[in-house]
Chain A
């Protein structure tokens, strides 16, 4: 009987604690837009240059490698302060410039040669995530800021794909995921979606029917799809586990049914850039403590970590031949001149410069 007072106090307290835990909104995961994708023709990356501490002096540029030549192929006519997300399919590159300042909709642009651009437009805001835009065989798909999926054949007229209730953003926020849709990939077996879940789930990838992908993940935890790319060897999903400070690479294939195998996991405190190669390798640039770390996960799950990196490493790119390269950037904010990008290859544990080029930074143009 003497226990009752304690229990009567502990019960409402535990209920309160549980309610508080359930009601708390974990911080949304910030997905790095510095992302590279590679196909047989070209490697493409979005690089951020300029004054990184200023929202109006920080510009995003599209940098493309064809053969051994690097060119800056930023879509013209629109300020890129909000960032760029892009999608590559064959020679065709599609970009979406995220709205910034007073712009409220998303200018799109596509090119086959990096010189001639065909403008498009999405009358809304696109999700701020590297794989919020994708394309395959003439179809472009994107996720808007509310997590709705839209498809277009021409880049200007869009139709909204009806998602089952289980996937709709509001329901996602109420369900176990409590998150949003952040990635879309168009595969031969249909679209696959990636989620950013603040609730504990075992799989962040889902099909448009709302079915979670079968997963080999060991435990339920908050997880966010960092990248979702269709490669020659199937789908590659790079997942960020914020509570475990680690990234996971999932190889997802479609046979009679979707199949997932967790390829590898690597520990990082923060992710700043990602790259996916044509053969399914993944590279993640991040930080542990004050130091930069690059983790490469091969298609068979071999993990290679590089703690000694070129100074100012800002992006990682796989060339069409499969070579991993690091792009380092030196900005000249005070002198307000072009940023210098240097491309590095690794040989053993040594980094060698292969080429360097300038990226114009239009300081002051977005004032």
Chain B
């Protein structure tokens, strides 16, 4: 695994992708069952019901927000199903998002990626269900407490994403709204915050002005930043003919990624245009941001509708021409910031533009609602409270399907064996007798297969003076022992020395001492006379041979798993691989296979 992700394992590794799809399919059945049960419950309880406490119509602006962000959460969930998501996200999204940020942001992003790196399959599936659950919840829970809880869930999860992806790149030099800052997830947070606002507030002019000014102010700030000299926004092509302009460069990069040719052509043409006319393009962007922002800040709403639509068209244009729809430039987890920004702009604009009498009626009914709690039930076509709470329970169950495994993974800190499987051959089933070896352990005590009678055995071959794999495997044997917990007493972890030259007990003891293996009670590092070692190597196909020219001894990295009767049941052709995560995955795999043969 390279960097934070899976050094040595390609993001599209078929073993990991298959495990991802299998888990996704299994859990998909659970989700379908939850949704089916929710629908049945709703049908059963959907007869004439009591008048809901608050049946006032939802303000159009809030509905825009709710539907918009619900749709975005569902789209993000679908993006999570990309096959390369389990291994690609840590490097492709989290690290990439933070790589130009200060080191503390990078450290934060790295620590946030920790669980994902250890459990990539579980994490990718879990995030999918969390985001799908939030989306469905937001979609179905139109109002009241369930709707606000859905908004809160969205805020919480969007904050997790925003922090772990390096704060949307706001600390990176050259941060720009048009390039993705401050991150789509922060806009999801803002959308969620607006959904928390009581329905009645949407009719209040002060509230409408407040949210208009907040959004307008943010657009003006973005416009000033975009126009600030020295940030590369006004550049096009340098003296060598290289594209150096901010917008043109990003568009050029985006045009190079795999996508439909017509889209690539559009983005490439824009890149060329922006490279040749940087002042015109950036000047237009700055004017539009400042202009739309200014109209939103004004108390007068005379030009609000025009500004709103200009802003939306501008954001969509940036989304297509600069951000390449947000999903083609690598491993996308969301459609980038322009779509949520357009939703926010439309919702904030609509809040003011919605006919005042409509809002007033909504507000009046909303305010009057508490007084109607004791009134007689009025038959309704849709029993809203039941729909709301049924959808809430179903959504929470779907979210729980993601949150619980993630929480367990974070608490236990275990590593998925699938990483070791991805790097190596799958375990082979076997059924043959053990070689009746006669060697000595690290204490000089004679050892035969009878020594391990009644215990499962993991036997591997280690060179005590090896400089790469053997020390790693030795260390992971200690980890395997701790992963087995109380079952460790039923297991013997055995290494047979694999070096024709360095066969002494001194070499074995030095190896153990430097790797801290002396404290592992069920650890046996066996050596003995070379002829007996050679017979063991030959029987187990260890392939031990010295190579000329200053190379270490060559030998196979095979691990044999024996049952308690001394028969070989599983053969692992595995090495721990290049990083700590893969090491632990090897241990997890070995512990898992040992558990299948425990007495």
Contact = CB atoms under 8 A, between A and B. Distances in A.
B466 interface: yes
B551 A365 contact: yes
Contacts of A97: 465
Contact of B501 (A61, A72, A79, A117): A117
Given A109-B501, A119-B501, A121-B507, A103 B548 contact: no
Interface in B456-488: 463, 465-468, 471-472
B255 to A, nearest CB: 35
Nearest to B499: A77
Given A102-B467, A102-B468, A107-B465, A79 B550 contact: yes
B547 interface: yes
B546 A76 contact: yes
A359 interface: yes
A181 B465 CA distance: 26
Interface string A193-213: 000000000000000000000
A362 B547 contact: yes
Nearest to B467: A101
Contacts of B510: 105, 121, 123
A133 B2 CA distance: 39
Contacts of B111: none
A307 B466 CA distance: 42
Interface in A35-67: 59-61
Contacts of B514: 104-105
B283 interface: no
Contacts of A215: none
Contacts of A105: 465, 510, 514
B513 A123 contact: yes
Interface in B503-532: 503-504, 506-507, 510, 513-514
Given A78-B502, A102-B471, A123-B510, A360 B548 contact: yes
Interface string B492-503: 000000011111
B549 A79 contact: no
B501 A76 contact: yes
A362 to B, nearest CB: 3
A102 B502 contact: no
Interface residues of A, number: 35
B472 A102 contact: yes
B553 interface: yes
Contact of B548 (A119, A121, A362): A362
Given A77-B501, A121-B507, A156-B506, A366 B468 contact: yes
A78 B503 CA distance: 12
Interface string A324-367: 00000000000000100000000000000000000111100111
Nearest to A83: B550
Contacts of A109: 501
Nearest to A338: B549
Interface residues of B, number: 27
A77 B552 contact: yes
Given A76-B501, A78-B502, A102-B472, A61 B549 contact: yes
A246 interface: no
Contact of B502 (A59, A74, A119, A362): A119
Contact of A365 (B503, B506, B513, B552): B552
Task: Name the residue among B466, B467, B510 with the largest chain A CB count within 10 angstroms.
Answer: B467
B471 A119 contact: no
A187 interface: no
Given A102-B471, A102-B472, A105-B510, A77 B548 contact: no
A121 B511 CA distance: 11
A296 interface: no
A78 B548 contact: no
Contacts of B553: 76-78
Nearest to A362: B551
A80 interface: yes
Nearest to B549: A360
B549 A361 contact: yes
A366 B552 contact: yes
A81 B552 CA distance: 10
A359 B546 contact: no
Given A59-B551, A105-B465, A156-B506, 5 more contacts: A76-B553, A77-B501, A80-B550, A99-B467, A105-B510
Interface of B: 463, 465-468, 471-472, 499-504, 506-507, 510, 513-514, 546-554
Please provide the 4 A-B residue pairs with the shortest distance between their CB atoms, ordered closest to farther. Answer: A80-B550, A362-B551, A77-B501, A360-B549
26 contacts: A72-B548, A74-B550, A75-B501, A77-B463, A77-B499, A77-B500, A77-B552, A77-B553, A79-B467, A79-B551, A81-B550, A103-B465, A103-B471, A109-B501, A119-B501, A119-B502, A119-B503, A121-B506, A121-B510, A156-B504, A156-B506, A362-B548, A365-B547, A366-B468, A366-B551, A367-B468
